[in-house]
Amino acid sequence: MIQLESFLIISAIVFSLGLFTVIYKKNAVGILMGVELILNSVNLNFVAFSKYVDAHINGQLMAIFIIILAASEAAIALAIILNIYRNRASVDVTQLDEMKH
Amino acid sequence: MSNLNSIQYFIPELFLTAAILVLIIVDLVLKDRKGHIIAYLTAASAIIAGILAYQQFNLPAASLFQGMIVVDSFAIFFKILAAFSTAIIVFISLDSFGDKAEYNILLLIVTLGMFLMPAVNDILMIIIAMEIVGLMSYVLAGFHKKDLKSTEAALKYMIYGAASTGIMAFGFSLIYGLTGHTNLYDIQTALVNGHANPVAMFVAFMMILGGLGYKIAMVPFHFWVPDVYEGAPTPVTAFLSVGPKAAGFALFIRFLVTVIAHPTYGSFGSFTQNVQIQAPLLLAVLAVLTMTLGNFSALNQKNIKRMLGYSAIAHVGYMVMALVVLNNDAFGAVMFYMIVYLFMNFGAFWVVESFASKLGGEEIENYKGLGYRDPFTAVSMAIFMFSLTGLPPFAGFIGKVYLFSAVIKQGWYILALIGVLNSVVSLFYYLSVVKSMFLRQEDENVPIQSSLYHKVLVVIFVVPTLLLGVYWQPIINFTTHSIGIFFGK
C-alpha cells in the first residue's frame, strides 16, 4: 500500500517544477506548460486526499473540474499567444516591454 | 436545499445565462444591421438581473444546490453592484465597442461570474467562479487585436492569472487535505473542532492569498496591474478596476469568515480565527505594503491610466486594512467604499476614455489647460481626483472615515496612522492632474466641444460623488442590512 506521503511528495515536486518553469521560461508557450504542471500537481493532491482523508469522492470531482478549467484556460491562452505572434512574430515574453517606464 | 428546489432561487443567474445565449443568436440573426442594439440589450439584461437579485434581498438566507452556493443579503449586495457596474460599462464603451456584439456578450459572461463569486460556499465553486471571471477578462483586455499594447496586456494578465489560480488551487487542495471537506462551512466546523497543523494551515492561507490577492490586486501579487491598466482598452480597465475587484473582495471576505475565522460565540458581528495563524497581522503587513507601494509608485507616472492603476492598488490597500479587524463594521466599511469607489473611479476613467482622442493622448501632459478649454469636464475631473484623495466634502472622504474608524475602534492605531499618511502622499499625484488642467495652459486655448452624451454620463458620476459626501445615511443603512452572511450547508 502506497502511503499518502508519497503522493504529497510527488505533487510537491511537480508543483515546484511548474512554478520554476513559469518563472524561468522566456517562451510564452513554455510558461503555459508550467501552469499545466501546477494544475496537475493540484489534481494529484486532490485525488490523493480524496482516497486517504475524505470518505466521499469530492476530491476526484474537483480534479475533473480542474482538468476542464485547464483545458479552457489553455485554449484562451493559446489564442492570445497566437495573436501576439501575428503582431510581432515572436512569443518571447522578455521582449514584451511596450509599456516599460 | 435539494437541486430541484434550488432552481427557484437561482433565477438571476439563469436569466443571465439565457440572456447570453439569446444575445449570441440575436447577433447572428441581425448580422450587419445591428448598430448598438446588442449593447442596449446587454445593459438591459444586466439591470434586469440586478433587479431579480434585489427581489431575493429579504428572503431568509439559505444554501442552494446541496451547499454549493448560498443566497444571502451579502451576496445579493455584490450581485447588484456587479450588475450596475456592467450596465454602466456598456454605456462607457458605447462609442468604442457599441457595435461589437462579442464584446458586450463577454461583459455579460463576466457578470455571470461576478454573480457567482460572492455567493460561493464550496471550494469547487470558488475555483469555477474565479475562472469564469478571469478567462473572460483576459479576452477583454486583449480586445484590440492589432494593438501591441493591448495584446501585451492580455498576455501578462493571462500568465499572472493562470499561475496565481494554480497556486490558489494548490492551497485549497491543502485545506481539503487538512479537513477532508470541500464545503466552506464543513471546513470551518472541522477546523474549529479539530487540531489542524497551524504551519500547514498558514502555508495554505499564503497560497490562497496568491489567487485572491491577484484578483483584488494586492501586493505582492500586483505586478500585472500597471501594464494591464495601461494596455487594455480604457472601458475594460475601468471595468477591471471595479467590477471583478468588488466580486474578489466579496469572495475574500467570505473566505476569511469561513475558512480563516468563525463567528465569536456570544458576540455576533465579530470573528475569531479557526486556527491561530496570525492572519490579521499578516493582512496588516500586506495592507501597509500595498498602499505604500501603490502610492509611491504612482508619484512619478506620466500616463494617467497607469497612474490610476497604481492608485487602484493603493485603494485596495485601504480596503484590506479594514479587513484586518475581522468584524461587521469593517465589512460594511469595505462595501460602502466599493460603492463610492465605483462612482469616482468610473467618472475618472470616463473622462480619460472620452477625451483621449480630443486631447491627443492619455498622458497627464495632454490635460494641460483643459480647465480653460472645457471647464465643465475639468471641474468634474478635479472632483473625482479630490474624492479619490479623500478630501472632505466628497464621497471618498466619508468612505475613508468608515474604513479608518473600523480599524481605530479595534486599537490598530499605527495601521490607521500609516493609512492617513498614505492619503497625504496620494494628494500629490492626484493634484498633479488638477495642476496640469488649471495652472498650466497652452499658448492658445482652443475650446473643446463635448457631446451631450458625454456631459450626461459625467453628471451621473459627479452627482453621487458629491451627494454621498454630504448625505450617505441611506447607503450606510443598505450596507448594514447587507451583512447577513449565511453559515450552513
**What is the per-residue pLDDT for A91?**
85
Which one of B152, B180, B301 has the shortest CB-CB distance to A98?
A: B152
Average pLDDT over residues B414-436: 92
Segment among B169-183, B350-364, B433-447 with least mean pLDDT: B433-447
DSSP class per residue in A49-86? HHHHT-SSSHHHHHHHHHHHHHHHHHHHHHHHHHHHHH
Which one of B155, B173, B301 has the shortest CB-CB distance to A46?
A: B173
The residue of B145, B151, B173, B303 whose CB has the most chain A CBs within 10 angstroms, and thus the best one to mutate to test that interface, is B173
* Chain B positions in Cβ-Cβ contact with residue A65 (cut-off 8 Å): 124, 127-128
**What is the per-residue pLDDT for B446?**
82
Average pLDDT over residues B394-418: 93
Reply yes or no on whether the pLDDT at B346 is more than 60: yes
Residue of A nearest to B158 (CA): A77
Average pLDDT over residues B290-297: 93
Reply yes or no on whether the pLDDT at B32 is more than 80: no
* Confidence label for B298 from pLDDT (cuts 50, 70 and 90): very high
Domain boundaries of chain B, sorted by first residue = 278-489
* Chain B positions in Cβ-Cβ contact with residue A31 (cut-off 8 Å): 159, 163
**What is the per-residue pLDDT for B286?**
94
DSSP code, position B325: T
User: How many residues in total does chain B contain?
Assistant: 489
Residue of B nearest to A99 (CA): B227
Residues 6+ apart with CB under 8 A from B233: B93, B96, B97, B140, B141, B143, B144, B150
| Average pLDDT value over all residues in chain B | 91
Phi then psi for residue B143, to 5 deg, are -70, -30
The whole-angstrom separation of Cα B122 and Cα B133 is: 17
* Chain A positions in Cβ-Cβ contact with residue B170 (cut-off 8 Å): 15, 38, 41-42, 45
Reply yes or no on whether the pLDDT at B35 is more than 80: no
Query: How many contacts, defined by CB atoms under 8 Å, are there between A and B?
Result: 126
Phi then psi for residue B277, to 5 deg, are -125, 15
* Confidence label for B358 from pLDDT (cuts 50, 70 and 90): confident
Reply yes or no on whether the pLDDT at B102 is more than 80: yes
| Average pLDDT value over all residues in chain A | 90
**Which one, of B438, B435, B403, lies nearest residue B422 by Cα?**
B403
Q: Under an 8 A CB cutoff, do A66 and B230 touch?
A: no
Q: Under an 8 A CB cutoff, do B155 and A39 touch?
A: no
Percent of chain B at pLDDT > 90 equals: 70
ipTM above 0.85, yes or no: yes
Summarised one tens digit per residue, pLDDT across range B186-223 is 999 999 998 888 999 999 999 999 999 999 999 888 88
Average pLDDT over residues B124-138: 94
* Chain B positions in Cβ-Cβ contact with residue A79 (cut-off 8 Å): 139
Q: Under an 8 A CB cutoff, do A46 and B127 touch?
A: no
Percent of chain A at pLDDT > 90 equals: 71
* Confidence label for B484 from pLDDT (cuts 50, 70 and 90): confident
Side-chain-facing half-sphere of B165: CA atoms under 13 Å: 27
* Chain A positions in Cβ-Cβ contact with residue B131 (cut-off 8 Å): 69, 72-73
Percent of chain B at pLDDT > 70 equals: 99
Summarised one tens digit per residue, pLDDT across range B237-267 is 999 999 999 999 999 999 999 999 998 876 6
Minimum distance, in Å, between the CA of residue B6 and any CA atom of chain A: 20
**What is the per-residue pLDDT for B194?**
85
Helices (H) and strands (E) in chain B, counts: 21, 4
Which one of A61, A69, A84 has the shortest CB-CB distance to B151?
A: A84
**What is the per-residue pLDDT for A81?**
93
* Confidence label for B372 from pLDDT (cuts 50, 70 and 90): confident
**What is the per-residue pLDDT for A101?**
56
Q: Under an 8 A CB cutoff, do B182 and A58 touch?
A: yes
Q: Under an 8 A CB cutoff, do A61 and B227 touch?
A: no
Summarised one tens digit per residue, pLDDT across range A64-82 is 999 999 999 999 999 999 9
* Confidence label for B400 from pLDDT (cuts 50, 70 and 90): very high
- Contact status, residue B424 vs residue B361, Cβ threshold 8 Å: no
Which one of A42, A49, A99 has the shortest CB-CB distance to B152?
A: A99
* Chain B positions in Cβ-Cβ contact with residue A35 (cut-off 8 Å): 159, 162-163, 166
List, in order of start, the domains of chain A with CATH numbers.
Answer: 4-88 (1.10.287.3510)
